[in-house]
Amino acid sequence: MKHEKFHYRTLEDVKAKCQELGVELPFAKDTKALAQSLKLGSFTIPNRVGIAPMEGADSTEDGRPSNYTERRYTNEAIGGSGIIWYEAISLAEEGRSSKTQLLMNEHTLDDFKRMNERVKEAGLKANGFEPFLVMQSNHSGRYSNPGNRPAPMIAQRNSWLESFRPADDSCIVSDDYLKRMEESFGDSARLAKMAGFDAVDIKSCHGYLFQEVIAAYDRPGEYGGCYENRSKLLKNSIRAAKQYEDDKFLVTARIGIYDGYPAECRGFGQAPDGSMDLTEPKRLVRELHDELGIGFIDITMGNPYATTHVTRPFDAGKYPPDEHPFEGLSRMIHGIGEVKAACPEMIIYGSAPTYLREFSDLYAAGAVEQGLCDGLLFGRMSFADPDFANEIVKNGRIDPKRVCLTCGKCGDLIRAHKPTGCVIRDSSTFMPFYREFMDEKKSLPANFRG
């Protein structure tokens, strides 16, 4: 298989290709649906477009936001997104994805607080409203890399994932460790609130620790085997975080509903034969709403280290997928729609509109109009064009000259633990880091999908 390049000049071309492939993507006639406000608890979010969490690998070594971090979030606030879902922030040194991943603790808290004040102020000054800021709490689990040295912490063995990144039995975390994580993720709500975030995300997606546990079918003990055990870590952490919730601070979660692994190493949202089966994700989302009182979530899919094309359909990446990117988009948006239909009361943000470039705005508006989700978080697009929200909401359409080309270079930078952004549209800042990466590339193993 070769990489499929995006070569569609008009929306009609896109629709014709979809028809040929037998997939349906939602496209609206205009973007008015995205200019509507949205209620999250007592907050009113002025529009339906937001920034997806995008790790920048640009913290100081002790995990504080750097000038690069602040520049990124300030630009996004000026760009007019109603919600900025901050990147994965580690709660523990051993669970960091790199030595430049943001780390939240008592020592770094004030730096986040100062940054958040400036980010909100910038949004208010530029657009007349403060963006809603979400902190994404994470533990990198299998992909932990503190000090830039792999130190996997896994829920159970997975031979397929380990063909890309080795691990052994000694990497399996204990039940006691997971119990401590429940407290730590609960406490992250307190820290997030003190740092001026409006919500905390107890992240459960993309192959990190919580997503591993929810798919730990073969793990013995309290956190493995049956659904009740596998969902315990996420639910107990949310319960612990909930004690800090009030009308000024909410708890949410980014949920991965389908991992896309081979059958013998199946992940969450997969039947024993490996096919997509959303029975458990739908049950989970319903329980998060009815039993835990969660009012809004984001939904995503895949594991960016192993099934990258499922998380973010691309023009160029580490491997050519065996499907057309439109098939990936269709799986994503209709999977999200299936969960939304099963729990219509839950406000659901969808993910991964960027592949569609200058048509991503009509796609996002179509998804909202058709009730597949309530809003869309834009990932790679936010690196390429942090102003995309204002272009859509104020001018009616995204600027085609500034869109992301899904070239994969931001993915290369994050894997190389270098400050990450758009090498094409912000080349004066990020091309030097990309050149460094190219020079170092020769030393990476051939099967590396990290």
Ligand X SMILES: Cc1cc2nc3c(=O)[nH]c(=O)nc-3n(C[C@H](O)[C@H](O)[C@H](O)COP(=O)(O)O)c2cc1C
Q: In what order do the strands lie in the sheet with 250-252?
A: 250-252, 199-202, 132-138, 83-90, 49-51, 375-378, 347-351, 296-300, 254-256
DSSP code, position 3: P
CB 128 → ligand X: shortest distance, Å? 26
User: Which stretches does DSSP call E strand in 77-151?
Assistant: 83-90, 132-138
The two three-digit tokens of residue 193, written as one number: 């609130």
Judged by beta carbon, residue 223 or residue 349, the one nearer ligand X is 349
Rounded Cα gap, residues 193 and 378, in angstroms? 24
Handedness of CA 310, 188, 342, 279 (dihedral sign): positive
Selected from 14, 28, 45, 88, the binder of ligand X by CB under 6 A is 88
Judged by beta carbon, residue 173 or residue 414, the one nearer ligand X is 414
The pattern of x and - marking residues 239 through 278 that bind ligand X according to CB under 6 A reads ---------------x------------------------
Selected from 311, 348, 405, 416, the binder of ligand X by CB under 6 A is 311
From the list 6-14, 110-118, 408-416, 442-450, the region that binds ligand X by CB under 6 A is 408-416
Selected from 237, 252, 354, 390, the binder of ligand X by CB under 6 A is 354
Selected from 31, 34, 55, 240, the binder of ligand X by CB under 6 A is 55
Rounded Cα gap, residues 303 and 283, in angstroms? 21
- Residue at shortest CB range from ligand X: 379
Selected from 58, 70, 87, 387, the binder of ligand X by CB under 6 A is 87
From the list 221-229, 289-297, 341-349, 374-382, the region that binds ligand X by CB under 6 A is 374-382
User: Which stretches does DSSP call E strand in 91-138?
Assistant: 132-138
Pairing state between β 375-378 and 347-351: parallel
Judged by beta carbon, residue 196 or residue 328, the one nearer ligand X is 328
Judged by beta carbon, residue 355 or residue 359, the one nearer ligand X is 355
Selected from 14, 23, 45, 52, the binder of ligand X by CB under 6 A is 52
The two three-digit tokens of residue 327, written as one number: 């098939």
Residues in contact with 423: Cβ distance below 8 Å, sequence separation at least 6, in sequence order: 407, 409, 410, 413, 430, 431, 433, 434
Judged by beta carbon, residue 229 or residue 330, the one nearer ligand X is 330
CB 55 → ligand X: shortest distance, Å? 3
Selected from 306, 348, 410, 416, the binder of ligand X by CB under 6 A is 410
DSSP code, position 79: T
The two three-digit tokens of residue 35, written as one number: 């200019």
First to last CA, the chain: 20
Handedness of CA 178, 179, 180, 186 (dihedral sign): positive
Residues of this chain, 281-300, that bind ligand X according to CB under 6 A? 300
Q: Which helix (H) or strand (E) holds 329?
A: helix 325-342
Q: Any idea which residue has 């920034």 for tokens?
A: 51
Do residues 62 and 108 lie in contact, with contact meaning Cβ atoms separated by under 8 Å? yes
Residues of this chain, 375-394, that bind ligand X according to CB under 6 A? 378-381
Judged by beta carbon, residue 134 or residue 191, the one nearer ligand X is 134
Do residues 371 and 340 lie in contact, with contact meaning Cβ atoms separated by under 8 Å? yes
357 binds ligand X (CB under 6 A): no
Selected from 278, 352, 373, 389, the binder of ligand X by CB under 6 A is 352
Judged by beta carbon, residue 112 or residue 217, the one nearer ligand X is 112
Judged by beta carbon, residue 240 or residue 333, the one nearer ligand X is 333
Judged by beta carbon, residue 51 or residue 346, the one nearer ligand X is 51
- Sites of contact with ligand X (CB under 6 A): 52-55, 87-88, 136, 205-206, 254, 300, 311-312, 351-355, 378-381, 410-411, 414, 420
